[in-house]
Amino acid sequence: MPTDLFIGGAYRSAAHNARFPVIEPATERELAQVAIAAEQDVADAVEAARVAADSGPWPAMNAEARARILNRMADGIERRAKELGTLEARDVGKPVSECVNHDIARAAKNIRFFAAAAEAWTQEASFSDAKFLGADLKLMSVTARSPLGVGAIIIPWNSPLMLATWNLGPCLATGNTCVLKPSELAPLTSLALGEIAAEAGLPPGVLNVITGLGATGAALVNHPDVDAIAFTGGVGTGRSVMAAASGSLKRVTLELGGKSPNLVFSDADLKRSAAGVARSIFRSQGQSCVAGSRLLIDRRIADEFLALLLEQVSKIRIGDPLDAATEYGPLISASHRERVHAFVTEAVAAGATLLCGGSVPSKPERGYYYLPTILDNIDEKSRAVCEEIFGPVLTVQRFDDEEDAIAKANATRFGLSAYIWTTRIERALRVANRLKAGMVWVNSFFLRDLRTPFGGARQSGLGRQGGRYSLEFWTEPRMICMTYGEDSHG
């Protein structure tokens, strides 16, 4: 398992040889000691990416040639899916089945998808008329797109390889080079990507991976030779990234947090909706940006629905992430578990009712486990309802009618996703069009067509990713106008 920085196509230790421990959430034991990139290492990584962007073969290759190499990278990920999935399960604490079957599979798919999308992307031409120096001319204006140069990709810890590839897929497929900075809490599979890229024949310097704490990320976004930043993480960090980007007007996209509502209407298929709501909040132990953490439920069916939901929660198999049958593992760290628990104790002290969870399970004995938790009768202005907990905590609110449901759903500064559970198509469309969220799922959770825009409204982010949205972000459009109609040889 690589633990050094990947710069210019090879692994090397950090300038001052500083390291940080990576802790396995399920065992609380040290998994690795990983290099901390100092400012000099960050500069070296950006320099390697800069040289590869300015004078290397990568930007000059056509999309088809790039796709061949990127597809070999995807092959490498698939060949090592079990090993990478196990490493990610140990690093993040997510169930290994989820890592192998979803996250790692998606990582390979992300790269293949954007390699093909860049290959299939056609440039546009517009035709018009104009007068110039007394002559009537015809104009053909084409929009050519070129790579931006060096991209900084910063990702959080909850789905490292899936998020890394979701960003570097379009970045590299459009001819850019990049420096990837994974989270200090789960950096291992991103580091392994260096090895996979080198084996696939990616030219040196096109992908660089640097590890470290927040200061490493800050040095990267502040570096003057970085042309664009794709940041995924918390709202507070997103703000400082955007401020740093403003210094040299770097292009920036932000994928931030959420507080997504689950709206359950009286006409919903209650059993299926209960299973869907449980999955939307407790998958990945609630550590998902699109977690449906606020349950909004029609008052008339609240008791019946909550009984069904509690039944679903009681069936969740909590255990060792490396056990193939496990559905729910530990949280990422001791301090994160404390933070999650503080939200719960504060809400309960203020009068909320604990329907389930709210504590550490008796088994497994080690690991940062926290039970799936549901809080009812909660103050709508409380921190647990208004702030992103990023853990397995669902708050319950009741609504009187559709109007009330929409108002409650939109009463948040976030706007990432929303879930509507109903059997009435008219209601689904009516409500979906009024929710202030970047993504709305009806009777489902987190299903993705990679061509559609992914991202958030309000403080959940800036910009969109997916399909042409990503290709546009990573390229500079250039208008080239050509005239014809007057032939001097005629």
Footprint on this chain of ligand NAD (rule: CB under 6 A): 154-158, 181-184, 214, 217-218, 221, 232-234, 237, 240-241, 255-258, 289, 388, 390, 416, 456, 461
Phi/psi region, residue 293 (left: phi>0; alpha: psi -120 to 50; beta: rest), is alpha
Q: What is the DSSP string of 240-256?
A: HHHHHHHHTT-EEEEE-
For residue 281, give the amino acid letter: I
Nearer CB in complex with ligand NAD: 44/103: 103
| Residue 184 beta carbon to ligand NAD: minimum distance, rounded to whole angstroms | 5
How far is the C-alpha of 246 from the C-alpha of 263, rounded, in Å?
Answer: 38
How far is the C-alpha of 191 from the C-alpha of 394, rounded, in Å?
Answer: 34
Residue 239 contacts by C-beta under 8 Å, 6 or more apart in sequence? none
Residue 121 contacts by C-beta under 8 Å, 6 or more apart in sequence? 63, 145, 468, 471
| Residue 50 beta carbon to ligand NAD: minimum distance, rounded to whole angstroms | 19
How far is the C-alpha of 351 from the C-alpha of 346, rounded, in Å?
Answer: 9
Residue 467 contacts by C-beta under 8 Å, 6 or more apart in sequence? 117, 450, 451, 452, 453
Phi/psi region, residue 165 (left: phi>0; alpha: psi -120 to 50; beta: rest), is alpha
How far is the C-alpha of 145 from the C-alpha of 190, rounded, in Å?
Answer: 29
Q: Indicate which residue of 171, 255, 327, 481 is catalytic.
A: 255
Q: Indicate which residue of 289, 388, 426, 472 is catalytic.
A: 289
Q: 3-state DSSP call for residue 384?
A: helix
| Residue 185 beta carbon to ligand NAD: minimum distance, rounded to whole angstroms | 6
| Residue 295 beta carbon to ligand NAD: minimum distance, rounded to whole angstroms | 18
Q: Considering only CA atoms, which of 228, 232, 233, 200 is closest in space to residue 108? A: 200
| Residue 483 beta carbon to ligand NAD: minimum distance, rounded to whole angstroms | 45
Q: 3-state DSSP call for residue 14?
A: coil
Nearer CB in complex with ligand NAD: 184/376: 184
Q: Considering only CA atoms, which of 373, 394, 398 is closest in space to residue 304? A: 398
| Residue 482 beta carbon to ligand NAD: minimum distance, rounded to whole angstroms | 41
Nearer CB in complex with ligand NAD: 56/415: 415
Nearer CB in complex with ligand NAD: 276/391: 391
Check if the beta carbon of residue 179 is closer than 8 Å to that of residue 5: no
Strands across the sheet containing 124-132:
124-132, 135-147, 475-484
| Residue 234 beta carbon to ligand NAD: minimum distance, rounded to whole angstroms | 3
Q: Is 255 an annotated catalytic residue? A: yes
422-458 b/e (C-beta count within 10 Å ≥ 16 → b):
beeeebbeebbeebbbbbbbbeebbeeebeeebbbbb
Q: Considering only CA atoms, which of 317, 316, 294, 296 is closest in space to residue 305? A: 296
- 272's enclosing H/E stretch is helix 270-282
Report which DSSP code applies to 87.
H
| Residue 166 beta carbon to ligand NAD: minimum distance, rounded to whole angstroms | 8
Q: 3-state DSSP call for residue 419?
A: strand
Nearer CB in complex with ligand NAD: 63/437: 437
| Residue 388 beta carbon to ligand NAD: minimum distance, rounded to whole angstroms | 5
Catalytic residue IDs: 255, 289
